[in-house]
């Protein structure tokens, strides 16, 4: 059932112009900023690409996921599924998988930068592999947050804004924590700090577990939010 | 079989469905009539588990086919792809899709995207997804809305055929002539409560009785 939802979501999403527009905007901005970084540094290194791409994903994923539940709730197609009855979990997981896979497609052309750098210089391949793995895991977590935001409202703009706001808070969770007691605990929630490890060429299982936990927690909450619609 | 027993639902302390009890047997078409805001759609949503009741219970004798008052599908999918998706969700074999295409007479538009269909064509797709797999229970909210006269006749025939095949059918409608033509029995809701449950008779007779019932209930 999850697979059927995934296939439907991919078909519906990619039959609209949204992922193409979002993907083009993502690559255009990433390309300009990445080239700028290369010029400033004067080195064929890929590491600066990852925080930029990660930050752009904060806006990309909530836009890709905003319609997942909000649009279905607004049009009434969600009611048809719940009346069958389809349990919330396969719906949530199918929609999350579709958003995650779509974000990987949007992200994929950025790998060309690694290829171009390899042509012009001799960059270390380790950070490239770990960096893209980190971006993939970040996208999984962001897709979870986006699906949760969409499950909590019937308005796509509200879902997108709530999703962006939530992931921005998580991205900058480390800011100012050095001066606060127990700041280290809050800083550990920072998405950007977790991504920094991957961009540096290291794969820490704690970071992998963190991204997976954010995604899983959001999906659990989203399934609950869908179920709670009955209580309204 | 559909059984509603003392069903109640309030929104913000305001009762919308009040102690509604009736049943629909296999092979029976029961019409749910009432003025706007009478609680017909809420009753159907309670029945389908889309809302939790504040009191009472609703029981369906098997999986239900549901057509909401405003039917929507996924604009980017073709009619056939949409019905295949619904079939997978209902865990039905793919062959049921072809039968539903014929039953709702949407085969000629099966490969067109749902987003490019007229209102009437969309409504027929809605009927197709409701009867997909020939469920033992059908819950149809205004099933003929947006259909032209010929399509209305076909939709009535489809509902009748489903009942003749053993389905319990609950139909909500504003059209008294339609209720008279299609239903074995009608349940009249006013202010969220059942005020009458009887055979529809002919359309003119039903209209006179309906207006009298609504006027009396609103006075009390």
The ipTM value here is 0.89
Mean pLDDT across A11-27? 94
Mean pLDDT across A36-47? 80
Looking at residue B215, its pLDDT comes to: 77
3-state secondary structure of A170: helix
Angstrom distance (rounded) from CA A149 to CA B111: 34
What is the tally of structural domains in chain A?
1
Percent of chain B with pLDDT over 70: 99
Please give, rounded to a whole number of angstroms, the shortest distance from the CA of A112 to a CA of chain B: 31
Looking at residue A183, its pLDDT comes to: 63
Output B119 or B205, whichever has higher pLDDT.
B119
Helices (H), ranges, chain B? 40-47, 79-89, 95-103, 119-131, 149-164, 176-182, 203-219
pLDDT confidence bin for B170, thresholds 50/70/90: very high
CB neighbour list of residue B169: distance below 8 Å, 6 or more residues apart: B24, B28, B29, B30, B137, B138, B140, B159, B162, B163
CB neighbour list of residue A74: distance below 8 Å, 6 or more residues apart: A154, A155, A156
Using the predicted structure, report yes or no on whether residue A33 has a pLDDT greater than 80: yes
Provide, as residue numbers in chain A, all residues whose Cβ is less than 8 Å from the Cβ of B66.
79-80, 83
Contact B76 A15 (CB under 8 A): yes
Using the predicted structure, report yes or no on whether residue B168 has a pLDDT greater than 90: yes
- Which of A1, A11, A82 is closest, CB to CB, to B88? A1
pLDDT in tens, A145-184: 999 999 999 999 999 999 999 999 889 887 766 666 666 6
Percent of chain A with pLDDT over 70: 95
Asked if B203 reaches chain A (Cβ–Cβ under 8 Å), the answer is: no
Mutate to test the interface with A, among B75, B80, B89, B91 (most CBs of A within 10 A): B89
Looking at residue A178, its pLDDT comes to: 60
pLDDT confidence bin for B47, thresholds 50/70/90: very high
Please give, rounded to a whole number of angstroms, the shortest distance from the CA of A125 to a CA of chain B: 40
Contact A83 B66 (CB under 8 A): yes
Looking at residue B198, its pLDDT comes to: 82
Provide, as residue numbers in chain A, all residues whose Cβ is less than 8 Å from the Cβ of B70.
76
pLDDT confidence bin for B176, thresholds 50/70/90: confident
Using the predicted structure, report yes or no on whether residue B81 has a pLDDT greater than 70: yes
Summary mean pLDDT of chain A:
90
Using the predicted structure, report yes or no on whether residue A31 has a pLDDT greater than 70: yes
- For residue A62, give Cα distances in angstroms to A105, A148, B164: 15, 10, 49
- Residue A180 CB burial class (10 angstroms; 0-12, 13-18, ≥19): exposed
Summary mean pLDDT of chain B:
90
Provide, as residue numbers in chain A, all residues whose Cβ is less than 8 Å from the Cβ of B51.
230, 232
Asked if B94 reaches chain A (Cβ–Cβ under 8 Å), the answer is: no
CB neighbour list of residue A28: distance below 8 Å, 6 or more residues apart: none
Using the predicted structure, report yes or no on whether residue B194 has a pLDDT greater than 70: yes
pLDDT confidence bin for B175, thresholds 50/70/90: confident
- Which of B52, B71, B72 is closest, CB to CB, to A231? B52
Looking at residue A156, its pLDDT comes to: 94
Asked if B160 reaches chain A (Cβ–Cβ under 8 Å), the answer is: no
Contact B49 A85 (CB under 8 A): yes
Structural domains in chain B, CATH included, are 39-172 (3.40.50.300), 176-220 (no CATH)
* Closest listed residue to residue A2, CA positions, set A78, A111, A97, A68: A97
Mutate to test the interface with B, among A1, A3, A8, A17 (most CBs of B within 10 A): A8
Please give, rounded to a whole number of angstroms, the shortest distance from the CA of B51 to a CA of chain A: 4
Domain range spanning residue A121? Answer: 2-231
- For the whole model, what pTM was predicted? 0.89
Using the predicted structure, report yes or no on whether residue A230 has a pLDDT greater than 80: no
Looking at residue A173, its pLDDT comes to: 82
Question: In whole angstroms, how large is the CA radius of gyration of chain B?
Answer: 17
Mean pLDDT across A54-60? 95
pLDDT confidence bin for A34, thresholds 50/70/90: confident
Contact B81 A11 (CB under 8 A): yes
Mean pLDDT across A44-60? 89
Strands B29-33 and B168-172: parallel
Contact B71 A11 (CB under 8 A): no
Looking at residue B36, its pLDDT comes to: 86
């Amino acid at each position: 059932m999850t697979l059927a939802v995934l296939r439907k979501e991919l078909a519906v999403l990619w039959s609209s112009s949204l992922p193409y527009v979002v993907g083009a905007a993502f690559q255009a901005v990433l390309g300009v900023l990445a080239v700028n970084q290369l010029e400033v540094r004067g080195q064929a290194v890929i590491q600066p690409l990852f925080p930029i791409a990660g930050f752009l994903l904060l806006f990309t994923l909530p836009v890709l996921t905003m319609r997942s539940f909000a649009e279905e709730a607004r049009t009434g197609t969600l009611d048809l599924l719940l009346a069958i009855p389809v349990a919330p979990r396969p719906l949530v997981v199918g929609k999350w998988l579709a958003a995650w896979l779509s974000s990987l497609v949007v992200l994929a052309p950025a790998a060309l930068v690694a290829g171009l750098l390899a042509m012009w210089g001799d960059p270390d391949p380790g950070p490239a592999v770990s960096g893209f793995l980190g971006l993939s895991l970040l996208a999984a977590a962001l897709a979870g947050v986006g699906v949760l935001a969409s499950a909590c409202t019937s308005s796509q703009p509200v879902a997108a804004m709530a999703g962006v706001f939530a992931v921005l808070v998580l991205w900058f969770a480390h800011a100012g924590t050095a001066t606060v007691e127990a700041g280290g605990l809050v800083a550990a929630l920072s998405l950007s700090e977790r991504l920094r490890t991957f961009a540096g060429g290291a794969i820490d299982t704690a970071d992998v577990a963190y991204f997976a936990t954010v995604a899983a927690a959001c999906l659990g909450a989203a399934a609950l939010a869908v179920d709670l619609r009955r209580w309204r | 079989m559909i059984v509603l027993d003392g069903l109640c639902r309030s929104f913000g302390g305001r009762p919308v469905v009040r102690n509604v009890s009736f049943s629909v047997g296999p092979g029976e078409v029961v019409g749910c009539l009432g003025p706007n805001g009478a609680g017909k759609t809420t009753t159907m949503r309670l029945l389908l588990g889309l809302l939790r009741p504040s009191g009472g219970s609703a029981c369906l004798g098997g999986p239900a086919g549901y057509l909401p008052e405003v039917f929507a599908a996924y604009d980017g999918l073709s009619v056939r792809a949409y019905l295949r998706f619904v079939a997978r969700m209902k865990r039905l074999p793919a062959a049921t899709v072809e039968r539903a295409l014929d039953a709702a007479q949407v085969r000629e538009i099966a490969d067109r995207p749902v987003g490019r269909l007229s209102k009437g064509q969309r409504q027929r797709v809605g009927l197709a997804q409701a009867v997909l797999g020939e469920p033992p229970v059908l819950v149809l909210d205004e099933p003929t809305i947006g259909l032209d006269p010929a399509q209305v006749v076909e939709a009535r025939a489809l509902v009748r055929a489903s009942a003749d095949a053993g389905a319990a059918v609950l139909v909500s409608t504003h059209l008294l002539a339609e209720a008279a033509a299609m239903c074995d029995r009608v349940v009249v809701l006013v202010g969220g409560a059942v005020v009458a449950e009887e055979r529809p008779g002919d359309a003119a007779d039903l209209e006179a009785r309906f207006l009298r019932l609504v006027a009396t209930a609103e006075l009390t």
